[in-house]
Every structure is written in structure tokens, then in C-alpha cells.
Amino acid sequence: MKFIDYIRSKLIGKSSVEISESDLEEFYEKYEASKFNLTELALFTAISLIARSLAKCEFITLSDNKPKYEYEYYLWNFSPNKHQTKIEFITEFVSNLIFKNEALIVETSNEQLLVADGFSKTEFALYDDVFSSVSCRNLTFSRTFSEREVIYLKYNNIAISSILAQMCKSYEKLMTAAESRYNKAVGHKGILTISNQASNDTKFQDTFNDLIQKRFKQYFNAQNAVLPLFDGYSYTEPSTDSHKTTNSEINDITKLRDEAYSIVGNAFNIPPSIIKGEASQLSDAVDSFIANAIDPLAQMVEQEITKKRYGESSFLKGSYLSIDTTYVRHIDAISSANNIDKSIACGVLSPAQAQRYCNMIPDTEEWAHAHYMTKNYQTVDMAVKGGEN
């Protein structure tokens, strides 16, 4: 029921009506709280998947093309500000990026990174854009920020969340209809037969009202009950295939929910099996999720950070930020032993790097940070020289 219809129901037989806070609470509890909020639930699921996956990635800070573990690394991988951890920060950032189609990160005077709750953007063709009225955590900055001072990302050219909301409304209506059919199917239906003698009794109306409004209500609400009837009254329930009917309605609700989730997943390049929490063919689904949902977002973020916090000259000298999305996939040292051995044997990973990918504490010994290669691997020149000898 829409709110305007609720007001009209209150106006029946009256020229005016006063709406109190309790009336609003009644409307929400009766009509709004029971609605299927598919859009919000599916979007929250998508945001959670993307945010948690991006938060698992390592934000590698490099100098002279070598990893450098200093304050910038700590800032992006552990605590961007005094109030948030990395995953809290990334979740807020991704939420804004998806819901609002844009996200802004500003740096405070004491080198903390904050995700802006709101801001105004003034665009220019030949000059830096300007951000004003920037608010973060109940604080509105009095100053303006130049484009080169902030991290600003736009997720898409269209506000995808609003489009999805319109699309999911159709599914919400269908699920509400399926719920209504289910409630009818599991409800009690019967035939009450009243004889002429009973209906002509002087106390018929009182007896009838007591039976309908009190006795039947208690009978239907009780788990185990006996319904006493007076002379001239008989009650029977028709036999139906209610079990088959209710299963059909439950299946309809499940299918509609899955279809809505799949639509939201497709919009964000999340495979249906992942967004719906299914375990079948999960390995292939994770690969697709990383390649199509996480990698493009990670590249967009790392490019913006490198552009704004390092600049062209530093980048050309080998100083930049790179996001390693390999960490999104869970790697177990035991089950992945053969692949890890191969990666170390061909020089792709050092033992310490392999330990990090397995979520283990890297060994501090010098040998663990060296790269190894078995004699099976050699360059073409080495192979030719070996043949000549």
C-alpha cells in the first residue's frame, strides 16, 4: 500500500485527519517493513563482495621499481585514518562509488585520508575541477579542493543503481504477489453450515459473533486445538493440495529472487554463482569475478592514486602504487603446494612472496627473499651454446 492510499483510508467518513508519529510507525510496520527490498539487499551483497575483495588486495608502494614499506604503504593497507581500518575505508569508498556513481577521498592537514560524505563539483574545460562544501564525518571543510589534491573516481557514465532500482521494482511486485498467493494457500478455509433452527434463535447474532470473532480465531491461531460447536452449527474444511501449492509459491519466490540477484550481478560483472552464494563451479566464477569486476576497478584506483600522489616525474623514475589482486583468491599452502612449487622453481615468486600469498608470515631469512630457478629453465642462447658443446 502506498502512503497516499493509507491517508485515504484514514479519511473515510471524515473531512480531515491528523497524522501522528504513531500513525507513521503503524504504516511502516504494516506495509513497508514487510516489502521485499530486493534492490537494497542485492546491491548491499554486490558492494560487500566488491569491497571485501578489493580490501584483500595489497596496495604496493614502489620506489625505483622496488616495493617500499613506509608510511604510504601503511596508509593504504592498514589505517587510512584514525577512525577506520582498511576494510571499513574501502567499503565506504565502494558504497559511495556504486550508490552515488562517484566517490571522493581528501587528505587532511595531518595526512589522514577521508571519504567524503558529500561535496559539490565545479567542472572546467581547461582548468582543474574544484570541489567545495566537502563534508566528512559531520565536518564541512570551509576550504575548496583542487582536482589535483583529491582522489576522485566516477564509476560509470550512468547512475547504474537507480536503473537497477527501477528494474528490481518489477521483481518486488511479483514477489509480493507470490507471497500473497502463498499466504492464501496456507491459510485456513472452511465452510460453516448453520441450520434454520439455529439462525432463528433469539441469541443467534451474539452466538454467531462469539464464534466467528473469538472461537474461530483462537482455533486457527493455536497449534493444537479443539473447536466446540453449538447445535445447528457444523464446520468442514475442503480437502486441497495445499502442500503442492505452497511448494510452488516458495519456488516462485526463490526463482524471482535469484533472477533479481543475477541482474544486479551482471550489472557489476559478478557471476551469478558468487552473488547468490552457490558453490558449484566456484573456481571459474572467481576467475571471472576477478578479471571482470575487481581488476578494472583496481586499475582505475591505482591509476588515480599514482596520478595524484606520485605524478608523472616520480612515475617515470619508478615510483608509483600498484594493486595486487592475486590476494582475492584464497590460496592454501597445502592444497596449492604443486602450483607454489612451480612458481618458485621458475623464478616467478620468492619463497617469502609465496608465503604472503598463502596468508602466512614471510620468513625473514635472506634466502627466503631470493628468487630461484631450476636447471630446466634456460634462455635460447644458453640452449644453443649447450647444443654446440
**CB contact at 8 A, 154 and 108:** no
Dihedrals phi, psi of 151, to nearest 5 degrees: -105, 110
CB atoms within 10 A of CB 164: 21
CA atoms of 97 and 253, how far apart (whole Å):
30
Q: Which residue has the higher pLDDT, 240 or 177?
A: 177
Average the pLDDT over 61-73 and give the result.
93
Q: Which of 182, 58, 160 is nearest to 99 (CA)?
A: 160
What integer pLDDT is reported at residue 61 of this predicted model? 96
Q: What letter does residue 149 receive in the DSSP assignment? A: G
Q: Which of 305, 362, 307, 298 is nearest to 328 (CA)?
A: 298
Residue that is written with C-alpha cell 634456460 in the block: 378
Q: What letter does residue 366 receive in the DSSP assignment? A: G
Q: Which residue has the higher pLDDT, 277 or 74?
A: 74
Instruction: Give the amino acid at 289.
Output: F
What integer pLDDT is reported at residue 247 of this predicted model? 66
Predicted confidence band of residue 305 (pLDDT cuts 50, 70, 90):
very high
Residue that is written with C-alpha cell 558468487 in the block: 274
Facing residues of 62 across strands?
A: 67, 320
Average the pLDDT over 15-24 and give the result.
58
pTM: 0.70
Average per-residue pLDDT for the chain: 81
pLDDT of 243 strictly over 70: no
CA atoms of 357 and 304, how far apart (whole Å):
25
What integer pLDDT is reported at residue 336 of this predicted model? 81
pLDDT of 34 strictly over 50: no
pLDDT tens-place string over residues 84-136? 999 999 999 998 888 888 999 999 989 999 999 999 999 999 999 999 999 99
CA atoms of 178 and 181, how far apart (whole Å):
5
CB atoms within 10 A of CB 171: 19
Residue that is written with C-alpha cell 492464501 in the block: 184
Residue 387, C-beta contacts closer than 8 angstroms, at least 6 positions apart: none
Give the residue extent of every domain in the chain: 3-32, 37-101+155-189+240-330, 190-239, 331-389
* N residues, the chain: 389
pLDDT tens-place string over residues 333-382? 777 888 888 888 888 888 888 888 887 888 888 888 888 888 777 666 66
Q: Which residue has the higher pLDDT, 278 or 157?
A: 278
What integer pLDDT is reported at residue 214 of this predicted model? 80
**CB contact at 8 A, 91 and 47:** yes
CA atoms of 132 and 154, how far apart (whole Å):
17
What integer pLDDT is reported at residue 10 of this predicted model? 54
CA atoms of 112 and 82, how far apart (whole Å):
8
Torsion of CA 25, 26, 28, 32, to 10 degrees: 180
pLDDT tens-place string over residues 38-55? 677 788 888 889 999 999
Dihedrals phi, psi of 320, to nearest 5 degrees: -165, 180
pLDDT tens-place string over residues 260-285? 788 888 888 899 888 887 766 677 88
What integer pLDDT is reported at residue 33 of this predicted model? 46
**CB contact at 8 A, 134 and 190:** no
Percent of the chain with pLDDT over 70: 78
